[in-house]
Amino acid sequence: MSFFARLSYASLGASVFMYTPSPDFWWIPAIFLGILTATIPLTLLYKLVLGSDYEQYVIYNNLRVGFDNQKMVRLMAMIVGPVALIFSLLAMNCYTKFSGGEITINRFLGVGEISYPYSRISGLKSVRYFKAPNGDIKERPYFSIEFDGGERWTTGDGLRDPDPEGDRRLIEYVSGRCGRQPQEAGIE
């Protein structure tokens, strides 16, 4: 899956920085799609090896586990398969591209990309803490880019792993392009 994502990102053209989902992210849909697609060759292999005993094997296996395996696989294929596929397609179209003249953002659940010239940046922040969904304050430094229309992008966005050194280089680049220095912020 990561291979196809890299092909998709390569078609976006030149950039100075490109932020895409982490390679580790692709394990999630790959595991589910792998389980589903593995059932086809395994079923064919069992039919080939067992021959006429295949039907008895299926009955025995269903009695052993207490449910109909084939119905379960079909149900998984109808529910999990499309969800994993849609999830993968959305992630393959999730990126933030920093080029010479603008920042292009295509969010995970966004519809289309949005481009901002560096002149629309109204502020840069270096944030040290964030508030977790459960209300806890966690130390996890990140940078925030604020645009003049109230929009915001952070280095914590986009299904990616933190990279403090890469994020610092990015903000130095953006700071040079927009003429603003990052302001320290405890929490945002």
Is the pTM higher than 0.75? The answer reads yes
- In CATH, the number for domain 2-21+96-187 is 2.30.29
In this model, does residue 187 exceed pLDDT 70?
Answer: yes
CA–CA gap between residue 105 and residue 110 (Å, rounded): 9
pLDDT category, 186, cuts 50, 70, 90?
confident
The pLDDT of residue 117:
97
Average pLDDT, the chain: 89
The pLDDT of residue 161:
81
Q: What is the pLDDT of residues 131-163, one digit of tens each?
A: 888 989 988 889 999 999 999 999 988 788 888
Residue % of the chain over a pLDDT of 70: 94
The pLDDT of residue 5:
67
Count of CB atoms situated within 10 Å of the CB of 147:
17
pLDDT (average), residues 97-103: 94
Give, in degrees to the nearest 5, the angle at Cα 160 between 158 and 161.
Answer: 150
CA–CA gap between residue 70 and residue 78 (Å, rounded): 12
In this model, does residue 8 exceed pLDDT 80?
Answer: no
